[in-house]
Chains A and B, each alone.
Chain A
């Protein structure tokens, strides 16, 4: 299968190791990964902040970039970016009065999957140890990000994949379904409320005794990780793609610094 990777802007710029892990998983399964080079960002920061005029070129660019390449399905290691592509792009196009763009956005959205959706629903991966060789001998906990949970209805796909990794121990996160408080520019505009939400989330993470909190959205993990770091917690955050990509031969390192992955050259 030919799979187009939508890296998302935050992963591309700040968490390249997450995208590299995504590529690794798909290539191990024998799929061809392509990277539409025109891609940049889904535009949800602009949309969610009310800057619709500024969002329009971003959305248009995404649609064009993913029309320019031939592929079977597109994938992104982010629930919220996929939710934006699938649900927000057509709404924005309609609001801006561009019905042609709306139809094109809907077509791109229909072919775009979140990583666990692609792995479970399309590629039939349900046992990461068996089917991907995943091995990660650490105690982790898991935060299901809001957009994956509520907009995409991912259910336990990410969690079940994590639980099927060799050597892993997954501790239940108390009040897992509660938002971490990131919310894009919400964390700046309503920083006090956001911080109060984050405090509860990081306390819950710490209460599990896990060495890290995994999840499927780099932005939420950056937020939770930033809170853990500020409160001098030994726990950190790591995207589930990196845990799935970790094997006995090529283990991902989780110690030494905040948010660390096997990044860099």
Chain B
């Protein structure tokens, strides 16, 4: 497989849809941090999944080998994407499926809407899908008189609550049981008015509500977790059986999938189906996985479509330091371990993709210059917990830092006046690029004592450093730097516990 490229690379074409954030992350985070109920829910939820994940991962003696295989497989896929896509298309089509290609969200939405109209229906059932959320499919269909019913319990909660998902895997993670009950009582037709907030009762209410939809739906819309190039097979991983209902009962099945979801073949499933469930729900295996290859006579939908979506993925692929973000299998392990996500929740990230992976994926798909997406790569203390948890070893901290560089570079020369941060960094660059410069600066440090109170603590710093003193004191500088002490006062102490060299 070769990708011979002649000539100059073309400019990347960025994605559209629910990837662009309208409010800078720090402002959104400030608001979300004030929601104490949400923070309590999130803390409970993220800690619970975290512990479950650690337990089931520890059961596998070859976890690291699986991660290595998963990571290398994805790199292989990205490097050979054109050939693998062609191979997939050939096999899927040979089995009676139809492939559509969509350059962007709008094109994908239009293809789906047209396919639904062809079936003469105005109702579809949906399996939870990140891709359709990204392109804003539900809203697009609604504007055209087509109702899309989310069938995953959490997505249903979000949809009925006129809310937005806040987590990839558990979209209603920010709601507790009482809040869910209240949404059901208010929004679910024919619901038992005595419904309690017991999760089992709530799940059964959802079952009853959706049962008729499943049994009568003519069209279903899904995403896909994996696609196997060498057989044309698609896979959907789920828990509740709503996926099986959608993938099995309707006559028409429309699947929307990003082009990066391919795997070379069946053998790769043995890696990814060990990595994904353990990383996402902390289970040894999810309750249900469905695999289908085009159309099977007498079993399941006879009218099967797949829309292959770009929407900025090729732009992300063009970034050689950021492209491994496309290796993401949407397990959500990174958000469950992220100390920032745990406190702000998914809404603060403003995009379909929250958490650490969202902080890199969203700006890669939209370009760093899009609206407020440039604030996302800074939404991390770079603690690295996400990289450790990632089943395909995406070095999220390194990509965050790379994108910060892209952001700073994109603003160079564009501003009339340098920001305080620009000035601080320029000054520090001078001070830190020579021992002599730093020594000179250190001579002035004792002046810092003037800013300190009698207790030798500095309690308010100006400008951008004011954020520091909002919750922390700063120690007054010492009278002598180490460098100065070394030069003037250091005399080696006599060895007391001498070692052989």
Contact = CB atoms under 8 A, between A and B. Distances in A.
Interface of A: 1, 7, 9, 11-17, 19-20, 23-24, 27-33, 35-41, 43, 45-55, 57-58, 60-61, 65, 88, 91, 95, 123-124, 131-133, 146-147, 150-151, 177-179, 181-199, 222-223, 225-227, 229-230, 257-259, 263-265
A207 B493 CA distance: 39
Contacts of B23: none
A52 B398 CA distance: 13
Given A51-B429, A57-B429, 17 more contacts: A52-B409, A61-B433, A61-B435, A65-B435, A95-B321, A146-B381, A150-B385, A179-B339, A183-B380, A187-B468, A190-B29, A193-B29, A194-B467, A195-B472, A198-B471, A226-B475, A257-B455
B497 A29 contact: yes
A9 B114 CA distance: 62
A95 B497 CA distance: 45
B434 A40 contact: yes
A264 B478 CA distance: 7
Contact of A132 (B387, B426, B497): B497
Interface stretch (B55-63, B70-78, B309-317, B400-408): B400-408
B6 interface: no
Contact of A51 (B408, B457, B465): B408
B380 A186 contact: yes
A225 B475 contact: yes
Contact of A181 (B339, B404, B421): B339
Given A20-B485, A197-B343, A190 B378 contact: yes
B210 to A, nearest CB: 37
Nearest to B426: A54
8 contacts: A16-B480, A27-B493, A40-B431, A179-B339, A189-B26, A193-B29, A195-B471, A195-B472
Q: Nearest 9 A-B pairs (CB), nearest first?
A: A183-B381, A191-B467, A50-B404, A226-B472, A30-B498, A30-B495, A179-B383, A41-B432, A54-B429
B436 to A, nearest CB: 8
B481 A12 contact: yes
Contact of B468 (A177, A191, A192): A191
B383 A133 contact: no
Interface string B354-384: 0000000000000000000000011111111
A40 B480 contact: no
B281 interface: no
A227 B464 CA distance: 18
Interface of B: 25-26, 29-30, 33, 321, 339-340, 343-344, 377-385, 387-388, 398, 401-409, 412, 421, 425-426, 428-429, 431-435, 437-438, 441-442, 445, 455-457, 459, 464-465, 467-468, 470-475, 477-483, 485-486, 489-490, 492-499, 501
Highest count of chain A CB atoms <10 Å: which of B404, B428, B432, B435: B432
Contacts of B474: 222, 226
B481 A16 contact: yes
Highest count of chain B CB atoms <10 Å: which of A45, A146, A193, A198: A193
B384 A61 contact: no
Given A257-B455, A264-B478, A48 B498 contact: no
A264 B30 contact: no
Given A16-B482, A48-B401, A50-B401, A60 B473 contact: no
Given A14-B477, A30-B495, A146 B429 contact: no
Contacts of B468: 187-188, 191, 226
A191 B25 CA distance: 11
B343 A193 contact: yes
B141 to A, nearest CB: 36
B381 A197 contact: yes
A229 B457 contact: yes
A146 B431 CA distance: 26
Contacts of A183: 380-383
A50 B401 CA distance: 6
Nearest to B30: A192
Given A28-B495, A188-B468, A198-B471, A146 B433 contact: no
A227 B469 CA distance: 9
Contact of B433 (A40, A50, A91): A40
Contacts of A133: 496-497
Contact of A263 (B381, B441, B478, B483): B478
A7 B442 CA distance: 14
B424 to A, nearest CB: 9
B472 A223 contact: yes
A225 B229 CA distance: 55
A88 B400 CA distance: 13
A199 B429 CA distance: 31
A38 B435 contact: yes
B26 A188 contact: no
A95 B405 contact: yes
A208 to B, nearest CB: 19
Contacts of A264: 478-480
Nearest to A177: B385
Contacts of A146: 381-385
